[in-house]
């Protein structure tokens, strides 16, 4: 594994820092990286909080110690604390002193996490000065600043217990052999700075990483020679990209080949490192994903990670999993799937469309009723995974099997007579969520089935000239009539050509010509936005375009749950 000796300057001496080593009065229970990693599972990220730029609170989240109680009570054992230091340096070269108030704030948050027994990772997260890729950056200066930063973090936190671990730098870009060699040097400097700072830092668990904190550690990471720290490897995983980030209309996930792709990624890193503990430091399936597909993804990711003995830390940007202000799980089923998955307990799941060539998408996470239609029996399919369905309850108590629903293997047919408590065939019925049913199984997570009455949403703008949008984003208030979520957006020129990514013509019917969330459009619970760049793309094409906005359940671009916004040139 160690195939190259990394040499580095005696930086502490150069910078005049390595004189006084921190002395601790307590004691330190040494633990191996393997034990640390085992005990930290499952873990969670306090995202967009201490890592916000320029400082905590800038992205809407302030660390509140009660969050750590929520995590412990909820079954989490690991915490990754992403921390940005870039805007907290109070001097430049050569000392690069960090604001003492900020170091103290970090220490207070760390203390609160450790007191509650959370296995905690501290890192350096968004560091604009740390750039190994762009020409013009001076490696010597980066090395000095990096050493100084970790020396100061080491000095501030060096006497903390062995529950505290360090990660040198979040997702560092490094592409060329020279840049990758520099990243290896940086990781050796990190180890040196920790050793020089004293305290218990030479015995503390660290997570080393490869370029971009990606999977391709093999051949790229050189473990620093003379490392005394117990170490694990850390990598991040957001794959498949299109599903995780709502790109190209990909709302379907869960086929055998989808699962095999995750398995083979995790197998590859594990098979290369049979003897190094592995930390999956960030993963998430965006809450915008179709719900049953997201549950399946989360379950499979946790299960595959467990199979390959990998500890997971879910990313949470503020309320992806935990609603920090309400102290509730944003999606309690997702939470239960994670905790049971980490423990190896089989979860039952809501089935949903898995065929990428399907023309519509169904999902057993919901019971749909289109307003103005007859209320009928509704069959949902579940993936029991060896469990038995024990009960279904709703707002009026436990449902009566045989009367309210019929079980046939993995199929549950909800009787029209039961659904008529919530839905009617009246055309004037109000849309939206009518009730939430909870399904309990003999083992593992419970599931929800939300009863949703839906109709075609109403968009405030359906025809507009590009000229009147000018240089603004096109902001469109939406009166949702069901789920307050945009599923996908297709952009087609009137001559039939797709406005973006013409290669998507080779994808399935629900993905052809679909644009990408964040790059071309956005939505929230009361509106959507077509970004100016997308409007300008229409101007560029010189022909009118239809943006087909699709909602759940997805019934195709010509179906009753899609609305066209025509942009004229």
Ligand X SMILES: *[C@@H]1O[C@H](CO)[C@@H](O)[C@H](O)[C@H]1NC(C)=O
Which residues lie near ligand X (CB under 6 A)? 5, 7, 34, 37-38, 62, 64, 66, 90, 93, 99, 101-102, 138, 140-141, 218-219, 225-226, 268, 271-272, 277, 309, 319, 323, 325-326, 330, 374, 379, 381, 408-409, 411, 425, 492-497, 541-543, 546, 548, 557-558, 562, 564, 566
- 492 vs 520, which CB is nearer to ligand X? 492
- 24 vs 569, which CB is nearer to ligand X? 569
Write down the least CB distance from residue 122 to ligand X, Å.
19
Kindly give, in sequence order, each residue whose CB lies less than 8 Å from that of residue 505, ignoring residues fewer than 6 positions away.
498, 512, 513
- The strand pair at 474-479 and 527-530 is best described as antiparallel
- 277 vs 281, which CB is nearer to ligand X? 277
DSSP codes, 387-455: --EEEEEETTEEPPBTTTEEEETTEEEE-HHHHTTT--S-TTPPPEEEEEEEEEESSS--EEEEEEEE-
- 21 vs 27, which CB is nearer to ligand X? 21
- 127 vs 351, which CB is nearer to ligand X? 351
Residue with tokens 């920090």: 324
Kindly give, in sequence order, each residue whose CB lies less than 8 Å from that of residue 325, ignoring residues fewer than 6 positions away.
none
Element (H, E) at 383: strand 378-383
Residue with tokens 């750039």: 131
- 293 vs 562, which CB is nearer to ligand X? 562
Asked if residues 550 and 561 have their Cβ atoms less than 8 Å apart, the reply is: yes
Burial of 219 (0-12, 13-18, 19+ CB in 10 A): exposed
- 386 vs 398, which CB is nearer to ligand X? 386
- 24 vs 518, which CB is nearer to ligand X? 518
Element (H, E) at 179: helix 177-197
| CA-closest candidate to residue 18, choices 145, 151, 107, 125 | 151
Q: How far is CA 159 from the centre of its chain?
A: 32
Helices 100-115 and 139-157, axial angle in degrees (round to 10): 50
Write down the least CB distance from residue 487 to ligand X, Å.
14
Write down the least CB distance from residue 316 to ligand X, Å.
11
C-beta nearest to ligand X: residue? 34
Helices (H), 121-176: 139-157
Q: Which residues pair with 120 in a beta bridge?
A: 79, 164
Write down the least CB distance from residue 26 to ligand X, Å.
26
Write down the least CB distance from residue 562 to ligand X, Å.
5
Asked if residues 414 and 420 have their Cβ atoms less than 8 Å apart, the reply is: no
Write down the least CB distance from residue 218 to ligand X, Å.
3
């Amino acid at each position: 594994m160690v195939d190259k000796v990394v040499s580095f300057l005696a930086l502490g001496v150069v910078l005049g820092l390595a004189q006084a080593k921190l002395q601790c009065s307590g004691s330190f229970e040494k633990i191996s990286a393997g034990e640390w990693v085992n005990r930290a599972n499952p873990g969670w990220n306090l995202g967009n909080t201490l890592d916000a730029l320029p400082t905590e609170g800038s992205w809407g989240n302030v660390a509140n110690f009660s969050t750590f109680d929520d995590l412990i009570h909820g079954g989490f054992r690991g915490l990754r604390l992403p921390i940005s230091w870039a805007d907290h340096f109070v001097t430049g070269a050569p000392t690069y002193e960090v604001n003492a108030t900020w170091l103290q704030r970090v220490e207070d948050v760390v203390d609160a996490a450790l007191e509650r027994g959370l296995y905690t990772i501290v890192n350096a997260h968004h560091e604009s000065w740390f750039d190994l890729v762009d020409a013009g950056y001076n490696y010597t200066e980066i090395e000095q600043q990096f050493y100084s930063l970790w020396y100061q973090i080491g000095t501030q936190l060096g006497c903390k217990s062995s529950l505290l671990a360090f990660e040198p730098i979040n997702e560092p870009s490094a592409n060329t052999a020279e840049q990758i060699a520099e990243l290896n040097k940086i990781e050796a400097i990190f180890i040196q700075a920790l050793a020089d700072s004293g305290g218990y830092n030479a015995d503390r668990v660290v997570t080393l990483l490869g370029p971009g904190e990606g999977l391709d550690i093999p051949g790229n990471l050189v473990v620093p020679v003379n490392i005394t720290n117990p170490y694990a490897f850390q990598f991040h995983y957001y794959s498949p990209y299109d599903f995780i980030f709502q790109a190209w209309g990909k709302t379907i996930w869960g086929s055998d080949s989808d699962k095999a792709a995750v398995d083979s990624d995790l197998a590859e890193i594990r098979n290369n490192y049979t003897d190094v503990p592995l930390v999956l430091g960030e993963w998430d399936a965006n809450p915008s994903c179709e719900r049953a597909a997201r549950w399946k993804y989360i379950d499979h990711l946790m299960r595959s990670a467990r199979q390959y003995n990998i500890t997971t830390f879910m990313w949470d940007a503020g309320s992806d999993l935990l609603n920090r202000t309400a102290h509730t799980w944003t999606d309690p089923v997702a939470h239960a799937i994670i905790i049971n998955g980490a423990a190896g307990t089989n979860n039952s799941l809501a089935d949903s469309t898995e065929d990428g060539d399907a023309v519509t998408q169904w999902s057993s996470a919901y019971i749909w009723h289109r307003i103005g239609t007859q209320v009928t029996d509704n069959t949902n399919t579940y993936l029991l995974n060896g469990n038995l369905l024990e009960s279904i309850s709703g707002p009026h108590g436990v449902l009566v099997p045989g009367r309210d629903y019929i079980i046939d293997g993995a199929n549950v047919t909800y009787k029209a007579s039961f659904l008529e408590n919530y839905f009617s065939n009246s055309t004037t019925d109000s849309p939206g969520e009518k009730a939430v049913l909870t399904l309990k199984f003999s083992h593992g997570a419970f599931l929800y089935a939300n009863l949703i009455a839906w109709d075609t949403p109403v968009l405030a703008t359906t025809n507009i000239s590009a000229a009147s949008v000018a240089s603004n984003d096109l902001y469109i208030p939406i009166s949702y009539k069901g789920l307050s979520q945009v599923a996908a957006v297709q952009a087609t020129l009137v001559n039939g050509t797709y406005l973006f990514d013409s290669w998507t013509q080779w994808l399935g019917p629900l993905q052809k010509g679909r644009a990408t969330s964040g790059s071309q459009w956005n939505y929230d619970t009361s509106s959507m936005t077509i970004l100016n760049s997308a409007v300008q793309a229409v101007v560029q094409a010189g022909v009118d375009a239809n943006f087909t906005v699709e909602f759940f359940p997805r019934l195709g671009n010509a179906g009753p749950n899609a609305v066209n916004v025509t942009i004229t040139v």
